Structure formats: structure tokens, C-alpha cells
């Protein structure tokens, strides 16, 4: 499966190199070529099982199924979701929920990525000023990772990552090596648990100034909620009542297509000094990636050869030609004539093969 990133965050598309967002100006044929040439990779999928302490009404169940895209509802009131990217609770999900409700109320206004991100930023500023309901999250949540209960620091949000992209390209886990944890990938059968201290910390993660607080890494996570807490699965938020949440590895892995990086093709020239300040219009300048090779010189039969650039003169007109890499030069006047007054003329043809298959000829006289 390949991804065409038409959403706002597009985190999975970023990880698989399909880009931050489709703009509509891309060449469809090139996209199809990229799909054909893409690399097949495996993506871990996770099952999120939510079992509330109290039986919710039918209306609440139906609404939660729509908002969270639930794939199954059992008679024992448990709900099952499939997670590909991440699971969050606390301040992260609270901001997502505010954005979701605002978009549901007036969807026509949320028609561009720039506008959506600006609205999200303004909501974050309001959360920064006003006290959030997630301030004492560490006191209202218990988390066990692979059977070990975590000692949570004062935090307002928890993010459980399957991929190293969250919030439109941010990496809460970070890239620093830590002997206490394995290097995370999206196919290692492990999840990364990260803590966020507040809105300011989350903004710093968004901007790449900081990373989250690494809490744990494991393949089986059990969460106990003591109060109503905002949660989100792959960006779909809702308010979850007290109960148990279990995140465990799904038996099915997804086969995804990862876009291959395109190779840069450099133009090849055979004329010396091209791009070095030749003064020839339309040629590349310094640092253009042009590969310079020795010239293929052909001397016209019957004309004397010259190892360097030949100086020629005419009896009537003085002409000075521009220098090409120090090899193409011509000066006028009597300086190029022999003592007997007989002028000698040498013609050298330099053949240049461009990358597009054209041939260029330069006449030296």
C-alpha cells in the first residue's frame, strides 16, 4: 500500500518518504513511477482494547465508534481499535479534541493545511494561559509496560509511538542513543512511551527544540484511568471515562510501500573550465555539480597544431574573445604576426557532449 498525503499531519507518509503533503502540482506520472519503484516494508499494527468501568449509553457508544473509527464492539462493553501510528492521552489528545470539535462545527473554514496549523497553534496558546484538565495526569493514570508499573513524573500528556513522527513531523522520542532502550523502528514489535510536561513542552517538541521524556519501551501496555481523560488513536480524539486500556501487538502486520530516494543526475561536459567563470552565457557556475573532462581536440588537416590557445590576428580588425577556462583566448593587433608579415591561422575544434546528447563546437581563430 502506498500513501498519497492529502491530510494535515501525514505522519506515516513522512516516515515512508511520501512527503509532508500533496499539493496538487505534482506530476501524476512521476507519482506512479515512484509507486512502481517503491520498496516493500513491514509496519507493526497494534490493537487497542478499551473497557470502561461503567456501561455507557448506546448514544455514547455510537458516537465513539464514529469518532474513533472503531472496528468492533463486543457485548461486554469493550471496544477494539486498530492503531498504526500512535496513541495519546492527556494534553495531546485534549488539543486534538478541541480542534476536532471546531472543525466539526464549521468544516468550511478548515480547508488548508496552513489554516489548520494556525488554529491548532492558537488553541495551544489558550491552553497555555488557562489551566488544563490534564494538569494532574500522572496522579490519575497508572501505566504498566510489559508487566512493570511506571513511576510517572509530573506530566500532562503521554504519547505511545509506533512510528517516529507525530504532530506533522515532530519526533518526541528523539534521535539520541540510550543504552537503556533499543533503537526504535516501525517493525520491531515495540512501542515507545513518552511523557509531556505541558503545552510549552509540547510546543518545543513541535519546533524540534526539545524531545519528550522517555518513560519506557515495550510490547504490551496496560493503562488504568481513574477519571475522565481525553485520549486519541491516530489523531482521532474523544473523552474516555474511567476504565482499562490495553495496547497489544496485532497478529497482522501491514505491508507498506516506502518511496525510494531519487538519485541526482549531474550534467557531464567535456569542455575544460566550464562553470569556472567562463563568461559563456547559459553555462553553469561554480558548485553546479558539473563534471569536467579533458577536451577532445580535432585539428583541421593542413593547419599547424598548437599546444596552447592559438593567437591570431587580421590586418584590418582587432578582436578580443572572452576567455573560457583560460584556454579560449584571442588577441588582436600585430602581436600574433611573424616577422615576415605572413599570418598563420590555426583552427581547433573542441567537441563537447552534453548530457542531453547535443554536440557543441567552438571555433578558435
Q: Whole-angstrom Cα distance, residue 240 to residue 229?
A: 5
Among candidate residues 219, 252, 285, the one where a domain is terminated? 252
Q: Whole-angstrom Cα distance, residue 252 to residue 151?
A: 32
Would you say residue 158 has pLDDT above 90?
yes
* Domain contains 225: yes
Number of domains in the chain: 2
What is the chain's mean pLDDT, rounded?
Answer: 74
Q: Whole-angstrom Cα distance, residue 84 to residue 163?
A: 8
Mean pLDDT is lowest, of 157-166, 243-252, 272-281, for 272-281
CB-based burial label for 359 (10 Å; 0-12, 13-18, 19+): exposed
Query: How many other CB atoms sit within 10 Å of the CB of residue 50?
Result: 24
Chain segment 58-99, per-residue pLDDT in tens: 555 555 565 555 555 445 678 999 999 999 999 989 988 988
Over pLDDT 90: what percentage of the chain?
Answer: 39
| Residues 141 and 59 both lie in one domain | yes
Q: Whole-angstrom Cα distance, residue 199 to residue 90?
A: 11
**What mean pLDDT comes out for the span 156-164?**
95
* Domain contains 276: yes
Q: How confident is the model at residue 259 (pLDDT cuts 50, 70, 90)?
A: very high
| Residues 286 and 205 both lie in one domain | no
* Domain contains 3: no
* Domain contains 85: yes
Measure Cα distances from 244 to 42, 172, 203, 226 in Å: 29, 25, 29, 9
Would you say residue 183 has pLDDT above 70?
yes
Would you say residue 112 has pLDDT above 80?
no
* Domain contains 15: no
pTM for this prediction: 0.65
| Residues 122 and 220 both lie in one domain | yes
| Residues 227 and 83 both lie in one domain | yes
- Residue 17, all three cell numbers: 518518504
Nearest CA among 116, 158, 92 for reference residue 20: 116
* Domain contains 271: yes
| Residues 272 and 144 both lie in one domain | no
- Residue 47, all three cell numbers: 490493537
Among candidate residues 227, 252, 277, the one where a domain is terminated? 252
Would you say residue 291 has pLDDT above 70?
no
Would you say residue 330 has pLDDT above 80?
no
> What integer pLDDT is reported at residue 99 of this predicted model?
82
Q: What angle do CA 107, 111, 113 make, to 5 degrees?
A: 125
Helix, strand, coil shares, percent, the chain, to 5: 20, 30, 50
| Residues 318 and 353 both lie in one domain | yes
CB 124 within 8 A of CB 131: no
CB-based burial label for 336 (10 Å; 0-12, 13-18, 19+): middle
Among candidate residues 252, 276, 291, the one where a domain is terminated? 252
| Residues 232 and 127 both lie in one domain | yes
Would you say residue 203 has pLDDT above 50?
yes
Q: How confident is the model at residue 266 (pLDDT cuts 50, 70, 90)?
A: low
- Residue 261, all three cell numbers: 530516494
Q: How confident is the model at residue 360 (pLDDT cuts 50, 70, 90)?
A: very low
**DSSP at 54:** S
* Domain contains 33: no
Would you say residue 279 has pLDDT above 60?
no
| Residues 222 and 268 both lie in one domain | no
> What integer pLDDT is reported at residue 251 of this predicted model?
80
Residue 218: CB partners within 8 Å, gap ≥ 6? 145, 146, 190, 191, 193
Q: Whole-angstrom Cα distance, residue 216 to residue 92?
A: 18
> What integer pLDDT is reported at residue 131 of this predicted model?
65
Which residues partner with 223 through β-bridges?
Answer: 143, 245
| Residues 270 and 182 both lie in one domain | no
* Domain contains 2: no
Q: How confident is the model at residue 329 (pLDDT cuts 50, 70, 90)?
A: very low
Q: Which domain holds residue 127?
A: 44-252
CATH code for the domain in which residue 84 is found: 2.60.200.40
| Residues 72 and 211 both lie in one domain | yes
Concatenated DSSP letters of 87-153: EEEEHHHHHHHHHHHHHHH-GGG--SHHHHHHHHHHHHHHHHHSPPTTTTHHHHEEEEETTEE----
| Residues 112 and 203 both lie in one domain | yes
Nearest CA among 230, 226, 192, 198 for reference residue 93: 230
> What integer pLDDT is reported at residue 278 of this predicted model?
42
Residue 63, classed as helix, strand or coil, is helix
Query: How many other CB atoms sit within 10 Å of the CB of residue 77?
Result: 15
| Residues 110 and 166 both lie in one domain | yes
Amino acid at each position: 500500500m502506498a500513501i498519497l498525503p492529502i491530510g494535515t499531519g501525514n505522519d506515516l507518509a513522512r516516515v515512508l518518504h511520501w512527503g509532508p503533503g500533496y499539493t496538487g502540482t505534482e506530476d501524476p506520472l512521476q507519482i506512479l513511477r515512484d509507486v512502481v519503484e517503491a520498496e516493500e516494508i513491514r509496519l507493526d499494527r497494534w490493537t487497542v482494547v478499551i473497557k470502561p468501568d461503567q456501561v455507557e449509553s448506546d448514544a455514547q457508544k455510537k458516537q465513539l465508534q464514529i469518532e474513533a473509527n472503531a472496528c468492533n464492539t463486543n457485548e461486554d462493553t469493550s471496544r477494539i481499535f486498530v492503531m498504526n501510528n500512535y496513541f495519546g492521552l492527556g494534553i495531546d489528545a485534549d488539543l486534538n479534541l478541541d480542534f476536532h470539535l471546531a472543525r466539526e462545527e464549521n468544516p468550511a473554514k478548515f480547508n488548508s493545511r496552513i489554516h489548520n496549523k494556525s488554529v491548532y497553534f492558537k488553541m495551544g496558546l489558550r491552553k497555555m494561559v488557562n489551566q488544563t484538565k490534564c494538569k494532574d495526569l500522572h496522579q490519575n493514570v497508572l501505566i504498566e509496560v510489559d508487566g512493570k508499573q511506571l513511576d510517572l513524573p509530573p506530566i500532562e500528556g503521554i504519547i505511545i509511538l509506533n512510528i517516529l513522527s507525530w504532530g506533522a513531523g515532530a519526533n518526541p522520542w528523539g534521535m539520541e542513543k540510550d543504552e537503556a532502550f533499543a533503537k526504535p523502528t516501525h517493525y520491531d514489535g515495540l512501542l515507545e512511551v513518552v511523557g509531556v510536561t505541558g503545552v510549552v513542552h509540547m510546543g518545543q517538541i513541535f519546533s524540534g527544540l526539545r524531545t519528550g521524556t522517555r518513560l519506557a519501551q515495550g510490547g504490551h501496555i496496560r493503562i488504568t484511568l481513574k477519571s475522565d481523560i481525553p485520549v486519541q488513536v491516530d489523531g482521532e480524539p474523544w473523552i474516555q471515562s474511567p476504565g482499562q486500556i490495553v495496547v497489544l501487538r496485532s497478529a497482522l502486520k501491514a505491508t507498506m510501500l516506502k518511496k525510494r530516494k531519487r538519485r541526482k543526475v549531474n550534467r557531464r561536459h567535456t569542455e575544460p573550465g566550464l562553470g569556472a567563470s567562463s563568461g559563456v552565457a547559459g553555462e553553469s557556475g561554480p558548485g553546479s555539480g558539473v563534471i569536467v573532462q579533458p577536451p577532445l581536440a580535432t585539428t583541421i588537416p593542413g593547419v599547424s597544431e598548437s599546444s596552447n590557445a592559438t593567437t591570431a590576428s587580421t590586418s584590418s580588425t582587432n578582436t578580443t574573445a572572452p576567455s573560457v577556462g583560460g584556454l579560449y583566448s584571442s588577441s588582436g593587433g600585430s602581436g600574433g604576426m611573424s616577422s615576415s608579415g605572413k599570418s598563420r591561422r590555426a583552427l581547433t575544434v573542441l567537441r563537447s557532449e552534453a548530457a542531453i546528447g547535443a554536440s557543441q563546437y567552438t571555433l578558435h581563430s
